[in-house]
Amino acid sequence: MNAENDFANCACPEYEVMLEEYLEGTLENGAVRRLNEHLKLCDGCSHAFAEATEASMWLRQAERTPDPGPAFTHMVMTRVRTQESEPRASFWEPFVSLAWKFATTAALALVLMLAYAVHGTNPASPDNSVAATVSLQGDMQEILVAGQSTVPATRSDMVRMVTESDNAQQ
Amino acid sequence: MAATASAMPLPLGAREKGQEERALVQRAQKGDERAFEQLVRQHQQRVFGLVARVLHRQDDVEDIAQQVFLKVYLSLSRFDQRAAFSTWLYKIAVNECWDHLRKKKVRPLLYESDLSEEQVSQLDGIAALGRPTEGLDAHAETKDTLERVLEILPEQDRQLLLLKEVEGFSVQELADILGLNVNTVKVRLFRARGRIMEAQRRRAGASGLVKGPSATERKP
Q: What is the pLDDT of residues B75-88, one digit of tens each?
A: 999 999 888 999 99
Residues of B in contact with A81 (CB under 8 A): 33
Would you state the pLDDT for residue A3? 42
Instruction: Identify the CA nearest to B55 among candidates B173, B184, B127, B155.
Output: B155
Q: What is the mean pLDDT of the segment spanning B179-187?
A: 94
Contact A51 B193 (CB under 8 A): yes
pLDDT at B12: 55
**Mean pLDDT, chain B, whole residue set:** 78
Q: How far is CA B153 from CA B17, B111, B149, B159, B199, in A?
A: 36, 7, 7, 9, 7
Highest-confidence range of A84-93, A123-132, B119-128, by mean pLDDT?
A84-93
**Residue of chain B with shortest Cα separation from A63:** B166
Q: Tens digits of per-residue pLDDT, A133-156?
A: 555 566 556 655 655 556 667 777
Is the CB of residue B194 less than 8 Å from the CB of residue A52?
A: yes
One-character DSSP codes across A40-104? HH-HHHHHHHHHHHHHHHHHTTSPPPPP--HHHHHHHHHHHHHHHHSPPPPTTHHHHHHHHHHHH
CA dihedral B9, B10, B15, B19 (to 10 degrees): -70
Residues 6+ apart with CB under 8 A from B149: B196, B199, B200, B203, B212
More confident residue, B126 or A106: A106
Burial class (CB in 10 A: 0-12, 13-18, 19+), A86: exposed
List of chain A residues whose C-beta atoms are within 8 Å of the C-beta of residue B166: 59-60, 62-65
pLDDT recorded at residue A134: 57
User: Do residue B44 and residue A79 have CB atoms under 8 angstroms apart?
Assistant: no
Supply the pTM of this predicted model: 0.64
- The full set of domains in chain B, from first to last, is 11-104 (1.10.1740.10), 112-212 (1.10.10.10)
